[in-house]
Amino acid sequence: MSTKPPCRLCGHALEEFVSFGQQPTANAFLEPSDFDSESFCRLAVGICGACAMVQLIDEVPNEQMFHKEYPFRTSGSAGARAHFEQTAQWLLDTKLTDDRSFVIEIGANDGAMLGFVQKAGVRHLGIEPCGDLADICESKGIQVLNAYFDESTARRVAEKHGLADVIFSANTVSHISYLDSVFRGAEALLKPDGLLIFEDPYLVDIVAKTSFDLIYDEHLYFFTAGSVRDAVARYGLTLVDVQRISLHGGEVRYIVAREGAHQPTAALSGLLEAERAARVTERGTLERFAARVSERKTALVGLLQDLAAQGKRVAGYGATAKSTTVLNYCGIGPELVSFICDNTPGKQGRFTPGSHIPVRSPEAFANPYPDYALLFAWNHQEEVMANEKAFADAGGKWILYVPEVTIA
Ligand code: TYD
- Running DSSP on this structure, what letter comes out for residue 270? H
The confidence score (pLDDT) of residue 3 equals: 82
Report the nearest atom of ligand 1 relative to the CA of 384.
Answer: 22
Task: Give pLDDT, residue 158.
Answer: 98
| Residue 27 to residue 171: CA distance in whole angstroms | 14
Identify the DSSP state of 358. Answer: B
By the 8 A CB rule, do 324 and 347 touch?
Answer: no
pLDDT value, residue 366: 96
Report the relative pairing of strands 14-24 and 40-48 from DSSP bridges: antiparallel
| Distance in angstroms (rounded) separating the CA atoms of residues 163 and 147 | 18
User: What mean pLDDT is predicted for residues 165-180?
Assistant: 98
Per-residue model confidence as pLDDT tens digits over 363-381: 999 999 999 999 999 999 9
List the helix and strand counts (H, then E) for the chain.
13, 17
What is the average per-residue pLDDT within 58-79?
Answer: 95
395 phi/psi in degrees, rounded to 5: 100, 0
Beta pairing, strands 123-127 & 102-106 = parallel
Q: Rounded to an integer, what distance in angstroms lies between the CA atom of residue 300 and that of residue 379?
A: 18
Given a cut of 70, is residue 62 above it in pLDDT? yes
For residue range 384-393, list pLDDT tens digits in order. 999 999 999 9
Instruction: Indicate if the pLDDT at residue 330 is higher than 80.
Output: yes
Quick check: 2 pLDDT over 80? no
CA distance 253 to 221: 15
Q: Which of 25, 251, 320, 374 should be mutated for ligand 1, with most atoms under 8 A from CB? A: 320
- Among 176, 121, 136, 133, which Cα is nearest to 153's? 176
- Cα of 186 vs centre of ligand 1, distance in Å, is 30
Span from the CA of 81 to the centroid of ligand 1 (angstroms): 12
pLDDT tens profile 204-259 = 999 999 999 999 999 999 999 999 999 999 999 999 999 999 999 999 999 999 99
353 with 35: CB under 8 angstroms? no
- Cα(74) to ligand 1 centroid in Å equals 9
Instruction: Give 386 Cα–ligand 1 centroid separation in angstroms.
Output: 14
pLDDT tier, 1 (very low <50, low <70, confident <90, very high otherwise): low
Q: How far is the CA of 318 from the centre of ligand 1 (A)?
A: 5
User: Which tens digits make up the pLDDT trace of 79-121?
Assistant: 999 999 999 999 999 999 999 999 999 999 999 999 999 999 9
For residue 229, the CA-to-ligand 1 centroid distance in Å is 31
Are the C-beta atoms of 372 and 397 separated by less than 8 Å?
yes
Give the pLDDT of residue 225. Answer: 98
Q: How far apart are CA 288 and CA 405, in angstroms?
A: 17
* Average pLDDT of span 152-157: 98
Are 190 and 169 in contact by the 8 Å Cβ rule? The answer is no
Question: What is the CA(371)–ligand 1 centre distance, in A?
Answer: 21
32 CB contacts (<8 Å, ≥6 apart)? 351
Residue bearing the CA closest to ligand 1, atom 25:
77
CA distance 199 to 113: 13
List the alpha helices (DSSP H) in 190-334.
Answer: 203-209, 225-233, 266-278, 283-309, 321-330
CA 394/CA 372 separation, integer angstroms: 11
Position 297: which residue type? Answer: K
pLDDT score at 290:
98
- Which atom of ligand 1 is found nearest the CA of 76? 15
Residues near ligand 1 (Cβ within 6 A): 72, 76-77, 318-322, 342-344, 362, 377, 379-380, 383-384, 387
Task: Give the sheet arrangement for strand 40-48, strand by strand.
Answer: 14-24, 40-48, 54-56, 221-222
Considering the chain, what is the average pLDDT of its residues? Answer: 97
Which atom of ligand 1 lies nearest, measured to the CA of 320?
A: 8
For residue 377, give the ligand 1 atom closest to its CA.
Answer: 2
Give distance in angstroms: CA of 240 to centre of ligand 1.
Answer: 32
CA-387 nearest atom, ligand 1: 22
Give the nearest ligand 1 atom to 171 CA: 6
CB 195 within 8 A of CB 95: yes
Query: What Cα–Cα distance (Å) separates residue 221 from each residue in 49, 145, 282, 294, 396?
Result: 15, 25, 16, 21, 37
Closest by CA to 281, choosing from 201, 175, 203, is: 203
Nearest to 312 by CA among 388, 407, 377, 385: 407
**What are the pLDDT digits (tens) for 339-367?**
999 999 999 999 999 999 999 999 999 99
pLDDT at 305 over 80: yes
